[in-house]
C-alpha cells in the first residue's frame, strides 16, 4: 500500500503555524551586534568610495578638456564625476555610507546612539582605506579626489552650499560636492592635504542632517499621518499578524 504524504507541522512552528525560535538558537550580545554592523558599514562604505575615487582619478587623468574660465575641471568632467559616484552608490546600497545619514537617523531616534558610535569610526576608517588603496593602486594623485572650493566661492558660501545641496551634481563645481564628511576625509588623509576650510565638509552636511531631523520631529509631533488619512497605511496591524 502506498504511503500518504501527510504534512507535519514544523518543530519550529507554533500551533498557529507561525515560525518560532529554534530551541538551541545562538544569541549574540549587543556588543557583538554593534561590531558586526560596523563591519558591514566598513565594507559597504569602502566599496562605495573605492570605486568612486578610482573612477574620478581615471576621469581627471585622461581628460583633455578643462574649464575655459578657471582652468579647472570642465563641466563634462563634473557631470561624469557626479555620475560615477552615483552609480557606485547604486550598486552598494545596503549600508548608510554617510556620517550625515547616520547622524540624522540618530537624531530622529531611528538609530540608537550607541550604534552610531560604532558606525562613525567604521565609516571614517573605510574612507581612509579606500583613499589609501586607490593612491597605491592607480597612477595619478588622490588629491584629484579632494573636495575644494572653486574660484570665487567663499568659505561661508561653501558651508551653505554643503547644507542646501543634497544632490552632488548641483554642488560639485562649487565645493567638490562632498555631502559626506567621509568622502572628503579619505582623500585628505591619503593625500596628506587638509585645506584650511576642510571643516566646512563636516559642518555643512551635519547641519543639513540636523535640519532634516528637526523638521521630521516637527511633523511627527503633529502626527503627519493624519494630514492625508488613508495614505499612510498601518502595514503591521494586529489583523494581519495575530498574536
Q: How far apart are CA 225 and CA 89, in angstroms?
A: 30
Nearest Cα to 44, choosing from 148, 125, 165? 125
Lowest mean pLDDT among 31-40, 62-71, 125-134: 62-71
Q: How far apart are CA 114 and CA 126, in angstroms?
A: 19
For residue 171, name the pLDDT band (cuts at 50, 70, 90). confident
Chain centroid to CA 140? 26
pLDDT higher for 12 or 114?
114
Q: Which CATH class name applies to 30-226?
A: mainly alpha
Residue 238: pLDDT over 60? no
pLDDT value, residue 3: 56
Task: Give the CA distances from residue 197 to residues 52, 100, 154, 155, 165, in Å, rounded to whole numbers and listed in that order.
Answer: 23, 18, 10, 7, 18
Catalogue the long-range contacts made by 77-86 (C-beta closer than 8 Å, 24 or more residues apart). Answer: 78/169, 78/172, 78/173, 79/169, 81/55, 81/56, 81/172, 81/177, 82/168, 82/169, 82/172, 82/177, 84/51, 84/52, 84/55, 84/56, 84/59, 85/52, 85/56, 85/168, 85/177, 85/183, 86/168
For residue 18, name the pLDDT band (cuts at 50, 70, 90). low
Q: How far apart are CA 180 and CA 186, in angstroms?
A: 11
Residue 10: φ, ψ to 5°? -65, 145
pLDDT value, residue 224: 79
Chain centroid to CA 232? 26
- Decide: 131 and 187 in contact? Cβ < 8 Å: yes
Q: What percent of the chain has pLDDT over 90?
A: 30
Q: Average pLDDT in the 144-164 region?
A: 88
Residue 109: φ, ψ to 5°? 90, 5
For residue 239, name the pLDDT band (cuts at 50, 70, 90). very low
Residue 56: pLDDT over 90? no
Number of helices followed by number of strands (H, E) in the chain:
8, 0
Segment 178-197, tens digit of pLDDT:
878 898 999 999 988 888 99
Q: Cα(first)–Cα(last) distance of the chain, in Å?
A: 41
pLDDT value, residue 233: 57
Amino acid at each position: 500500500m502506498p504511503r500518504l504524504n501527510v504534512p507535519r507541522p514544523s518543530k519550529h512552528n507554533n500551533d498557529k503555524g507561525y515560525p518560532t525560535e529554534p530551541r538551541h538558537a545562538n544569541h549574540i550580545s549587543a556588543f557583538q551586534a554593534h561590531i558586526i554592523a560596523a563591519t558591514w558599514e566598513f565594507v559597504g562604505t569602502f566599496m562605495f568610495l573605492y570605486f568612486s575615487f578610482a573612477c574620478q582619478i581615471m576621469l581627471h587623468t585622461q581628460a583633455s578638456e578643462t574649464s575655459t574660465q578657471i582652468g579647472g575641471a570642465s563641466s563634462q568632467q563634473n557631470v561624469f564625476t557626479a555620475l560615477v559616484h552615483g552609480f557606485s552608490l547604486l550598486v552598494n546600497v545596503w549600508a548608510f555610507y554617510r556620517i550625515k545619514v547616520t547622524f540624522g537617523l540618530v537624531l530622529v531616534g531611528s538609530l540608537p546612539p550607541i550604534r552610531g558610535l560604532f558606525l562613525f569610526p567604521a565609516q571614517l576608517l573605510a574612507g581612509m582605506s579606500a583613499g589609501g588603496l586607490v593612491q597605491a593602486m592607480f597612477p595619478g594623485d588622490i588629491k584629484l579626489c579632494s573636495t575644494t572650493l572653486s574660484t570665487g566661492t567663499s568659505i561661508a558660501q561653501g558651508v551653505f552650499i554643503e547644507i542646501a545641496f543634497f544632490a552632488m551634481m548641483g554642488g560639485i563645481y562649487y565645493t567638490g560636492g562632498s555631502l559626506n564628511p567621509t568622502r572628503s576625509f579619505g582623500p585628505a588623509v591619503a593625500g596628506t592635504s587638509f585645506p584650511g576650510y576642510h571643516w566646512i565638509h563636516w559642518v555643512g552636511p551635519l547641519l543639513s542632517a540636523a535640519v532634516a531631523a528637526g523638521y521630521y520631529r516637527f511633523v511627527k509631533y503633529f502626527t503627519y499621518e493624519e494630514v492625508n488619512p488613508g495614505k499612510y497605511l498601518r502595514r503591521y496591524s494586529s489583523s494581519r499578524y495575530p498574536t
